[in-house]
Amino acid sequence: MKIFFVIITTMFFSLTGISQDIENLILPSPVMKGGKPLMEALKDRQTRRNFSEQKLTQQQLSDLLWAAFGINRPESGKRTAPSAVNWQETEVYVSLESGIYLYDAKKNVLQAVFAGDHRKDMGKQDFAGDAAVVLIYVADYSRMGERSKEDKEFYSAVDAGYISQNVYLYCSSQNLATVVMGYIDREKIKEYLKLKDDKKVILTQCVGYPK
C-alpha cells in the first residue's frame, strides 16, 4: 500500500508539474546604495520587450524586490512605494524558472508557492517567457476595509502603478529591461497562485537583461 501511494503521488506531481522539493529562497540583504543618480535614471527609463537568456543573481533579485515594494523604514514597516491609507494591499509574486514565489518583505524571503517554469503564462505576449523574472501584482481587497468595489479597484491599480514605476527606475539604473503587461489572463494566473476570491491580479511585469 505504501509503495502504491508513493507511485500515485509521484505521478500526480509529474502530471501537474508541482515539485515535491521546492523550497523558500532566502535572499541576501538588499544593497541600498549605488546606481545611477535619479535624473539619469529618469532620462534612461524606457520599455523594452526583448530579453536575453541571462539570469539575474540573487543579489539583483533582492535589490529589485526591495526597490519595488521593500521596507525602507523598519521602525514603522513602511515601504518604498506608497499605498492608500497605508493598506499595503499589494502582494508581489515572483515567477522564476524554478517556480512561483511570494515576496515576504519583512523576512526578505521568497516563499515557495508553485514549482515549475510558468513565466510564459504570466502574459499573452511571446516575450513573457523570455524574461528572467516576471513579477505579478495582486491586490488583497480584504486589507482595504469596507470601501466600495470601485474604490478598491481604483486604489489598488494606482498602488500597483507606483510599484511598477519603482521597478522601471531600478531597471533603468541597472541597465536592465522591463515591461508592464496588462494584456494577461487574470483568471488563469489566479488559479496558478491559488488566490482567494477577495484577491485580484492587477498587472504583471517582465524584468531581465536586454537582448
What is the pLDDT at residue 21?
61
Higher pLDDT, 3 or 26: 26
Convert the pLDDT of each residue in 181-196 to its tens digit.
Answer: 999 999 999 998 999 9
pLDDT of residue 40 exceeding 80 = yes
What is the pLDDT at residue 187?
95
Triad 45, 182, 72: Cα angle to 5°: 55
pLDDT of residue 153 exceeding 80 = yes
Report d(CA 157, CA 188) in Å as an integer. 19
Backbone φ, ψ for residue 59 (5° rounding): -65, -45
The domain spans of the chain are 23-208
Whether the CB-CB separation of 133 and 61 falls below 8 Å is answered with yes
- CATH number corresponding to 23-208: 3.40.109.10
Convert the pLDDT of each residue in 75-119 to its tens digit.
Answer: 999 999 999 999 999 999 999 999 999 999 999 999 999 999 999
